[in-house]
Chains A and B, each alone.
Chain A
């Protein structure tokens, strides 16, 4: 296996593919964080679908398949789509989900029509435009990766430069406006960067699944941290790893489209994060709940013994386990609780098999029941 990976990275084509996919993962992960935090996850989906007619039109107008030209068309169409969404929200009573859905499907439909039309034309170099649907990392050329790198560097630099402003915009735009920041311009800038992040990945991931690159890494990253900076970093790392792994798999397997493979990798990251993240993870929470439950069960048995002791007016009077089980109906775990309490020296088992509180256990039971009474 290690030698296979070594072979992979020593191959020039594969190195190009891995580099390109990694870069797009970094940028979409970073920008996706802001989209998710601003509750604009669906906007990414609308932008990527809206980009398709832009790609087709750019090809029809220039007869060129140069990445930069197609990406320019994609960005322009994506931006026009976003503009229309804003326009619909301003001028009609439609809510944002309807506006997004409308633009997404209309633009995507138009793009598909154009794509079909192009395929029926006798152009010499029409082949390969359909890779923009589901993405094809194997088709990445060195000059594509160079264009992607330059764009990515620009996006990340602007993001870092205006970090404070974008954070303010994402958390509390009204307040930002009140202290003198032009939130409309900032919003335009951040959305513009999102459009760029999306078009950078279109050739590799495809318009259909590109939004996963925006949403999934950020969603996974959110599980692990409570700091914006770390979230952006983690999201970029998840995006890059998924990009590289997915691209390797799809490039080494015949007819395996890259987009879906990358998305499957992302899904693994998301599932692991949702289950195992240290604070928010479901497993962690489940363990905490179980611990809590055990503690309550133990305290219940201790309290029951106290009640029995006080009923008899005699702490030395033993009680059979069946009595305690009856008292614990509904929460159970009596046997384990008694073992735990004995380990702490709070209860003792008499030779007859009956259970009694020790002096120490009695004091603790008093303390715990008193606390409950107060709360």
Chain B
């Protein structure tokens, strides 16, 4: 699987508009299998919309999406989605185990209820995210980091090939962040493809091997050391990224000169 050079995600000409205002404009995105990829960009750049459009939650004005080389609709079972933690009401009357078992609902199909098998899979996933002790816990009593781990466990029980995660590091403590990164890298080692909407530019090089810079249009995408350049960041974020230069990859000297001349 690891030497497989077919694409995990193949997005072509994706355009999304809300009331005539383009939110995503002509996005092409090609992601090979087995990479851990960050999507970064300023607020309102369309990061969440991109994920939601790939998953069919937002209707595109144009474009197509292939997962493992077939239309997304046929490949839904290969895909796991971790929505933003804040997108659900954590006061909902249910417990941790119940939420994680929801990851098996797609496999179960209509009407059939989760049983022993589902519970066992859910417990294994909770073990992986270090939340097994909390399985009977009411979800309103979880901290932000614990909520995120529960969502990750729910994605793990889906046994998917491609993972889409919307800001999994939002508002979690340092310990949880480390645990999540470890988990993401394990997924990549297992040959899975993981796409993460990410906010913290400082950690991009450390956590990810691929990156996409997005600001309505796709500014750049590719391997971190090729795409995550000061120049591209400036294009994505405007002029406000001076403080970042230590964390990006150096541009070759002549390229800097060129951009200075042209700018």
User: Which A residues form the contact surface with B (CB < 8 A)?
Assistant: 37, 39, 161-165, 167-168, 170-172, 174-181, 222, 225-228, 230-231
Contact = CB atoms under 8 A, between A and B. Distances in A.
Interface stretch (B99-107, B121-129, B215-223): B99-107
B56 A177 contact: yes
B92 A171 contact: yes
Given A172-B83, A175-B102, A37 B93 contact: yes
Given A178-B55, A180-B76, A181-B106, A228 B94 contact: yes
Given A164-B108, A179-B103, 6 more contacts: A165-B105, A174-B87, A175-B154, A178-B81, A222-B93, A226-B95
A168 B105 contact: yes
Contacts of A231: 93
Given A161-B111, A164-B111, A179-B158, A171 B102 contact: yes
A207 to B, nearest CB: 29
Contact of A174 (B83, B92, B95): B83
In this complex, the member of A161, A164, A225, A228 whose beta carbon has the largest number of chain B beta carbons within 10 angstroms is A164
A250 B76 CA distance: 55
A168 B93 contact: no
Query: How extensive is the interface on chain B, given as a class?
Result: 20 to 34
A315 to B, nearest CB: 42
Contacts of B108: 164
A174 B80 CA distance: 12
A116 B20 CA distance: 46
B116 to A, nearest CB: 16
A179 B105 contact: yes
Given A171-B102, A178-B57, A228 B111 contact: no
Contacts of B93: 37, 222, 225-228, 230-231
In this complex, the member of A161, A164, A179, A227 whose beta carbon has the largest number of chain B beta carbons within 10 angstroms is A179
Contact of A175 (B81, B89, B92, B111): B81
A178 B92 CA distance: 20
Contacts of B56: 177-178
B257 interface: no
B79 A168 contact: no
12 contacts: A162-B111, A163-B113, A165-B110, A167-B94, A172-B88, A174-B81, A174-B83, A175-B83, A178-B79, A179-B103, A179-B158, A228-B92
In the A-B complex, the 9 residue pairs with the smallest Cβ-Cβ separation, listed nearest first, are A179-B106, A178-B81, A226-B138, A172-B88, A180-B76, A180-B106, A228-B93, A171-B92, A226-B93
